[in-house]
Amino acid sequence: MTRGTHKLGGDNDGTSLLRRVESVDRTPSNVVHYVNEAQSWITADDDDGDDTPMSEPSVIPVSPLAGVSANILLVDDNADMREYVGAILRQNALFTVHTVGDGQAALDLVQHSLRSSGMTFQLIISDIMMPVMDGFELVHALKQDPNTARVPVILLSGRAGEEGKVEGLHAGADDYLVKPFSKKELMARVQKHLQLGGIRSQLDQQVALTQEELIKVNMELSESEAKYRVLSTCSPAGIVHTNADGGLIFSNPQFLELIGMSAEDARGGG
């Protein structure tokens, strides 16, 4: 195991990255993954030419539509990436950002928050390649649970191309963002999914209220029908209720006595 401080990038142009590497597994695959990850940060400039150092993200203007508080969960095994993306998100004072290092820790936090305080996350942003539980497995677990199935998930990946995006969406993710990405693009995606999530939440509430109203109306109708049958049975007059085709729906005993038929005969069963 090698410990030390490694400087990635060049001079004082904002692309230098000072990283302390602890307990790095020197297998070839991990080395390649580490180098690719670091290279993606160095080249992650904004589309409009913004060359602000990644360690000091610029203030992101917040649109009026984003004026809603939100709990956001950021999942990435790379501490520098968590710090960088988290700093961008926290530019919006209405965002509360929680960070964890792998998918299992994220799933545990989500479930614990629900059980202990009923707190839900309005958005989850997750890397794909992580130890213990990767991003695909996390998405699958979240979508299988009715309590978290509607939480939007944005996957982050260094894998560009249509194939990688399709794989992410097929896994159940709501969006797929390729590294390196600009700060503006990240915030645009975040705001979009928070807005869509808010709309879904409102629709779910309306559906729930409608279902409650329907249940209430059905109960009232049942109670009214029961009262009607009691009153009809006690009435000295014959009472009959038929449908549009003349089929018998209800008749009291007095009506059956008047026509000299049993209830079964009156309904056409005799």
Please give the model's pTM, rounded to 2 decimal places. Answer: 0.57
* Closest of 70, 22, 49, 14 to residue 183, by C-alpha: 49
Name every residue whose Cβ is closer than 8 Å to that of residue 185 and which is 6 or more positions away in sequence. 47, 177
Mean pLDDT of the chain: 76
pLDDT: is 34 or 176 the higher one? 176
* Strands 2-8, 248-251: pairing kind: unpaired
pLDDT of residue 53: 40
Q: Whole-angstrom Cα distance, residue 126 to residue 34?
A: 17
pLDDT digits (tens, 9 = 90+) for 27-77: 444 444 444 554 554 444 444 444 444 444 444 444 444 456 899 999 999
pLDDT digits (tens, 9 = 90+) for 179-232: 888 999 999 999 999 988 777 777 777 777 788 888 888 888 888 888 877 877
Quote the Cα angle for 153-156-160, to 5°: 130
Q: Whole-angstrom Cα distance, residue 168 to residue 151?
A: 16
Question: Predicted confidence band at 142 (pLDDT cuts at 50, 70, 90)?
Answer: very high
